[in-house]
Structure 1
Amino acid sequence: MPTLIKSIKQQQESLSAAEKQIAKYIIQNPDLIPNMTTKELSTKTGVSEASIVRFCKSIGMGSFKSFKLALVRDLTIAEMNITDVTNLQKNDSPYDLFQKVIQVNKFAIDSCTDSMNKKELDAAVTTIKSAKKIVFFGVGGSSIAAVDAHYKFTRLGYHSITSLDFHHLLTVIPYLEKGDVFIAISTSGMTKDVIELAQFAQKTGATVIAITNLDKSTLHKLADINLCTPNVERDFRIGSIPSRMTQLTIIDTLYMSVFHQIGDKVIKHYHDARNEMEKLRR
């Protein structure tokens, strides 16, 4: 059972009558809560939206959004976190794991809705659209998202740069200028190499956009724009699976958003590239 649900059970007796109604529904239907609004939960429980807000505060959460994010993380860790090292002892068949990978990735992507700030996303798209150079950087599992982003924005005609070599990027960043963008990708927001390059990029006048978890991490605090991902994995894990999917979802969103704004200017180049690729097919 998820830790947060256990905590709610333990606190039930100290709650008001309306809050107990909410607690009862959440305990019985924890998987439904992350995709619900306060209005929907109010209808299901027969209490006011104000009671839901009070319930969240009574159990130590600042808001319903914070509660949902905590529950998402708890459910993922408790029920579906196939990347937890403790699962090494499980005897799941390959097909069982196939089903779990699908489930955990779907859950992670759905959770992105609650962690994303619309204004920050709009600001990121506006900033990227007018940039001359865009540098993408991530370490470990996050480097996959950086490479994917580099590939996509190169197709859009941007001077897009990425590298797995920290020292190589140290030689690239001094050429950034005001209006250029450094996109720092880190699940924890605490990766030293990512933070140091982000700070270096800021000194040039470039805008730093962070793709990182919804925590007040070092990267989150220093970034000019934050595109937050939900907490869907433990820091100590077998490998990055759901966290990588959340990063790729944000990269795809940025790519499609910019493409929709400048597509008329680049579509001919897409067709030209497509025609050449077709000639190479055997």
Structure 2
Amino acid sequence: MHSLLAKIENQLSQLTEAEKKIGKFIIDNAKLVPNMTTKDLSKKTGVSEASVVRFCKSIGIRSFKSFKLELVKDLTLSETDITDFSILQKKDSPYELFHKVTYVNKHAVESTLSSLDKNELNKAVESIKTAKKIIFFGVGGSATAAFDGHYKFTRLGFHSVMAHDFHYLITLIPHLSKGDIFIAISMSGKTKDVLELAQFAKKSGATLIAITNIDKSPLYKEADIRLCTPNVEQDFRIGTIASRMTQLNIIDTLYLSVFNSIGENLVNLYHKARKEAVRLRR
């Protein structure tokens, strides 16, 4: 049973008769409650709206609105595979899906705290700081994180490249040398295009940094530095959602870590870019 529902069940004996009615209804109909008002719940349970508010306070939650948010969170985290095809059977409303997406993404990002190794992260930051060239590459949903990394490190003054064209990168990779970086991004770590370019970059002398799931995939084994994301989605899914958030979280961490080290030398350049951007506004 979900943690909030378990808490309610454990505290039933300590509640008033009216509050017990509310608690039992919620345990039996948990998925209905997030769409209910205090008036709806009071009618269903035959108690007053004030009793609903008192029930929430009795279990340590200040309002019914906060209670519903906590309940949605618990229900969602028990069904984190919102990108699998079973979603077709659930027929959630857009607002229910909004809540589920929000909490699944939040859970995915928080799970990265367990999957990412501190020492590997430090090695990645130190390697990037001294690089002359950085290539980011990912396909499908991972291309979003690759482009974001390219954009952010361009702002830091690095010669940064991201391209979708496999053959273009084949012509570029031989120009990499020791100290340069190839950042390969793949949830599964098994995508052939990503693996082929990663291996080619490594042969050219570049340091291979992989942003990939914690499973010991071919990309994981090939990488010099592994920035691992948690397993938050199935390989066959309707779209990349939570896994993309974990990748972007790592990209943001790399960017801020490098900026924190060299940013003092870039502040004037950031101001120049900002001034020009403001001038061009209509």
Q: Shorter-chain TM-score: which interval?
A: 0.7 to 0.9
Tell me, yes or no, if the aligned pair for 2:84 and 2:236 is still in contact at 8 Å: yes
Q: How big is each residue's C-alpha offset from its partner over 1:65-120, in whole Å with a ceiling of 9 and x where there is no partner?
A: xxxxxxxxxx9885122101121222100000000010100000000000010000
Query: Partners of 2:80 and 2:123 in 1: how far apart?
Result: 33
Structure 1: state its 5+ residue gaps: 3-74
User: Which residue does 1:256 correspond to in 2?
Assistant: 256
**One-letter amino acid of the structure 1 residue matched with residue 121 of structure 2:** L
TM-score normalised to the size of structure 1? 0.73
Q: How does 1:59-138 map to 2 (within 5 A)?
A: 79-138=79-138
Q: How big is each residue's C-alpha offset from its partner over 1:220-265, in whole Å with a ceiling of 9 and x where there is no partner?
A: 0010000000000000000000000000000000000000000011
User: Which residue does 1:267 correspond to in 2?
Assistant: 267
Query: Partners of 2:137 and 2:190 in 1: how far apart?
Result: 14
Q: How does 1:108-257 map to 2 (within 5 A)?
A: 108-257=108-257
Alignment CA distance shift 1:77-1:240 (3 Å): farther
Query: Partners of 1:147 and 1:204 in 2: how far apart?
Result: 22
Alignment CA distance shift 1:142-1:246 (3 Å): same
**Percent identity over the alignment?**
66
| DSSP 3-state at the match of 1:125 | helix
Alignment CA distance shift 1:77-1:100 (3 Å): closer
Query: Partners of 2:77 and 2:200 in 1: how far apart?
Result: 35
| DSSP 3-state at the match of 2:140 | coil
TM-score normalised to the size of structure 2? 0.73
**One-letter amino acid of the structure 1 residue matched with residue 200 of structure 2:** F
Tell me, yes or no, if the aligned pair for 2:77 and 2:104 is still in contact at 8 Å: no
Deviation at 1:277, TM superposition (A): 0.7
Alignment CA distance shift 1:187-1:77 (3 Å): farther
Deviation at 1:214, TM superposition (A): 0.3
Alignment CA distance shift 1:112-1:177 (3 Å): same
In the TM superposition, structure 1's runs of 4+ consecutive aligned residues that sit over 2 Å from their partners are: 75-78
Alignment CA distance shift 1:172-1:149 (3 Å): same
| DSSP 3-state at the match of 2:86 | helix
Structure 2: state its 5+ residue gaps: 3-74
| DSSP 3-state at the match of 1:233 | coil
Q: How big is each residue's C-alpha offset from its partner over 1:98-157, in whole Å with a ceiling of 9 and x where there is no partner?
A: 000101000000000000100000000000000000000001000000000000000000
Query: Partners of 2:174 and 2:210 in 1: how far apart?
Result: 19
| DSSP 3-state at the match of 2:226 | strand
**One-letter amino acid of the structure 1 residue matched with residue 277 of structure 2:** M
**One-letter amino acid of the structure 2 residue matched with residue 171 of structure 1:** T
Tell me, yes or no, if the aligned pair for 1:76 and 1:232 is still in contact at 8 Å: no
Tell me, yes or no, if the aligned pair for 2:77 and 2:103 is still in contact at 8 Å: no
| DSSP 3-state at the match of 2:260 | helix
